[in-house]
Amino acid sequence: MSSQAPIAIIGAGIGGLVAALALIQRGIAVDVYEQASELREVGAGLQLAANGTRVLISLGLGEAVENISCVPEGKEVRLYNTGQTWKLFDLGQTSVEKYGAPYWMSHRGDLHRILVDAVEAARPGAIRLGHKLTAFEQSASGVAMHFSNGATAAASAMVGADGVHSAVRQILFGDMPAQFMGVAAWRGLVPMERLPKHLQRLVGCNWVGPGGHVITYPLRGGKLLNFVAALERDNWAVDSWTEAGTQAECAADFVGWHDDIQEIVRHIDIPYKWALLGREPLQKWSVGRVSLLGDACHPTLPMLAQGANMAIEDGMVLARCLAGEPDVAKALKQFETARVERTSQIVRRSTEAAKRFHNPALADPAGAAAYVDREWTPEKIEARYGWLFEYDAMETPLPAVQGPD
Ligand SMILES: Cc1cc2nc3c(=O)[nH]c(=O)nc-3n(C[C@H](O)[C@H](O)[C@H](O)COP(=O)(O)OP(=O)(O)OC[C@H]3O[C@@H](n4cnc5c(N)ncnc54)[C@H](O)[C@@H]3O)c2cc1C
């Protein structure tokens, strides 16, 4: 093992690939180990806010990601049963003028493909598929890794970007299974052309209702509509990105909701089940030459649509720390210190947002509109979202650290 060996990233998901690309662009050799034996298009929509798109643009991916995305005009709040509509915020040019970067709505598979291609172009052979990390040991000079295919490898530092069920986190800090957050989700895609004209709009909608909410937004230049519904449940054990449900099961969950929702559900060919998992955000991510990023250390409910954006920010800040500090253990401590407060806040505020989106007050025909008027004032909206979107991962100051503890 040598401290001259490449940096290892475990997991070729969104955060791992952004970290890899940002490191390679800074002249640092990186190997990415991914458990999947092939990279397939799994998943559906992701929302990329200015804090995430700013990073993708700085990595040289702006045009490529914009081409596969939808640039929404704005977002709206709608009441689950009457469909009454409120403006949440404007996007499009407003996002660029206000936050210095666009807001894109993208299919995870499309974004993932662009990141894979960019990493492969920057360092051919960097992504090793079929490598599931099972164990590692670290010494003063490096990290030795073991994979389920029998392979071993050495690195100067290792970063677990291995998602919500992170093996790296488990080995570092012990078993902390993700908790089911009492919210079950449906996810589906609808070809926009199947929908009535009034639903073929380039806006995102947050439908709010007692005990559940639905988010819809356009993807792929408006050719697809992404549908994600979160419903409070006490028993829903599905823990997969690929578990299919039936249309009848999904439709049964939206009896009493507005016709627009029922219309969208009727056109989802395969609705997928998804359990929302969470965990108290970790306050310590780094031990010596090993650290974590993304869902591995701060899985979140999706109510602020920040899961992918946080992983993207992490990747950039990590690369800046490792590029600027030759002592990797110190650099990883600096990365953790730079990121832990913001990501913990986002996770906590996403959980709080669920209470607002699902509030029992929304069941009261007389009081529901007043509740939305009160809870979504322009001032409250700015306070909730402004600090998220204005963050600049390329410029945020890196804290001075004495050294790893
Ligand atoms: C297949 C898939 C589909 C998704 N679809 C959606 C979606 O439609 N909408 C949405 O909002 N979010 C989706 N997500 C989650 C979203 O990508 C993340 O919440 C967010 O982007 C944070 O990214 P991350 O890099 O931390 O983790 P992820 O993007 O989850 O990536 C983690 C990666 O680590 C790999 N991995 C895990 N364990 C090991 C191991 N032991 N050794 C090596 N590799 C390992 C995984 O295979 C995966 O590629 C999906 C995630 C996955 C993995």
Tell me: the pLDDT tens digits for 157-183?
A: 999 999 988 999 999 999 877 777 778
Residues carrying an active site annotation: 217
Measure the CA–CA gap between 390 and 387, rounded to whole angstroms: 6
Distance (Å, rounded) from C-alpha 193 to C-alpha 196?
A: 8
- Left if phi > 0, otherwise alpha if psi is -120 to 50, otherwise beta: which for 174? left
Residues with CB under 6 A from ligand 1: 10-16, 33-36, 42-44, 46, 108, 131-133, 161-163, 167, 241, 294-296, 302, 307-308, 311
| C-beta neighbour count of 81 within 10 angstroms | 17
Residue type, 332: L
Measure CA 397 to chain center: 23
Q: What is the pLDDT of residue 310?
A: 98
In the sheet that 30-33 helps form, which strands lie side by side, from edge to edge? 127-128, 30-33, 7-10, 157-160, 290-292
Rounded Cα–Cα distance for residues 330 and 72 (Å): 41
In the structure encoding, which two tokens stand for residue 331, read together? 């650099």
What is the phi/psi pair of residue 381, to 5°?
A: -65, -45
The residues with which 76 forms a beta bridge, in sequence order, are: 87, 205
Nearest CA to ligand 1 atom 27: 163
Four-residue CA torsion sign, 361, 266, 200, 51: positive
Token digits of residue 31: 């190997």
Q: How far is the CA of 99 from the centre of ligand 1 (A)?
A: 27
Residue ranges in the chain whose pLDDT is less than 70: 1-3, 235-241, 403-405
Q: Residue 2's pLDDT is what?
A: 41
Name all domains of the chain by residue range, CATH numbers in brackets.
7-70+104-177+279-357 (3.50.50.60)
Q: Whose CA is nearest to atom 20 of ligand 1?
A: 308
Helix (H) or strand (E) holding 74: strand 74-79
Structure confidence at residue 366 (pLDDT): 82
Closest by Cα among 6, 12, 49 to 302: 49
CA pair distance 266, 359, nearest whole angstrom: 26
Contact status, residue 212 vs residue 363, Cβ threshold 8 Å: no
Nearest CA residue ID for atom 29, ligand 1: 13
Work out the angle at residue 390's Cα, subtended by the Cα atoms of residues 387 and 396, and round it to the nearest 5 degrees. 100
> How many A from CA of 216 to the centre of ligand 1?
21
